[in-house]
Amino acid sequence: MKIAVCVKQVPTREGHPHLNESRTWIREQDASFEMNEPDQYAVEAALRLREQHGGEVVVCSAGPARVSQVIREALARGADRAIHVEDDRLAEADAAAVADALAAAMRDEKFDLVLTGLQSDDQGFAQAGVILAERLGMPHATIVMEVQVAEGGVRVKRELEGGWFQWVALPLPSLLTIQSGINQVRYATLKGIMAAKKKEIRKVAAPSALAATQRIVGLYVPEKTKRTEIITGSPAEAAKELIRRLREDARVI
């Protein structure tokens, strides 16, 4: 089975990035980066499928030169080779532009299965995988919690709302977006890190006509405010009003 797993490099969660002068993105020179968390689970899922059914795992990523950091990390964990669509424009690109760039590089590979993380930790639109499936002409399933290879296809367990789950059967080739927590992520060993240095990373130019369909107009840090209100009336009336405000204004119940 030939499996592609798409990974993205995102700012670290522990960091405190500053906005750039136009307030449309972060100051990258002040930020540190890591592999997107849901993508780590997608990498692990791909490696386990290869261990069970044989084949090849190919890491695919789109972004500037710094993205090679997370590509090497995925290779060190056990992926066989990588494809890097290198272009500075992809650092702030929307999901459609990223999917177009990846699809152009991946189409000729004829993958049996493509895995992506459910969403990115920075923009969180959960759209790149879905759009990529459309560009590649593949059926897809989202929020996947379990993957089973069946005759001629796969059976996947999807997470729904309210604690419900759904089993779906898809033919191959297909694309799955993986939910965080699907498995126990492995760490790169010293042997894996050394082996990753010799593995192929094929660099591909982004399409010249690459264009974003969305743009970030502005970013801001949420303002922290504190306010105290005294609810008057009888205890019963005050309790009723408190419940109303918690339900309708605060939306916590």
60 - beta bridge partners?
6, 83
Question: Could you give the C-alpha distances from 13 to 3, 16, 19, in angstroms and in order?
Answer: 28, 8, 15
pLDDT in tens, 81-133: 999 999 998 988 899 999 999 999 999 999 999 999 999 998 888 999 999 99
| Whole-number pLDDT of residue 72 | 96
Q: For residue range 54-82, what is the model confidence (pLDDT) as tens digits?
A: 999 999 999 999 999 999 999 999 999 99
Is residue 5 a contact partner of residue 57, using CB atoms and an 8 Å limit?
Answer: yes
Q: How are beta strands 2-6 and 56-63 bridged, if at all?
A: parallel
Average pLDDT over residues 15-22: 80
Residues pairing with 63 in the sheet: 86
Query: Cα–Cα distance between 55 and 49 in angstroms, integer?
Result: 9
pLDDT in tens, 208-232: 888 778 888 888 777 788 888 889 9
Residue 14, C-beta contacts closer than 8 angstroms, at least 6 positions apart: none
Instruction: Specify the residue for token string 């309790």.
Output: 239
Mean pLDDT lowest among 16-25, 29-38, 68-77, 136-145? 16-25
> pTM for the full model?
0.83
Can you tell me the distance from the alpha carbon of 141 to that of 144, in angstroms, rounded to the nearest whole number?
A: 7
Write out the E strands in 64-135.
Answer: 81-86, 113-117
Catalogue all structural domains in the chain, each as residue range(s) with its CATH number: 2-205 (3.40.50.620)
Give Rg (Cα) of the chain.
22
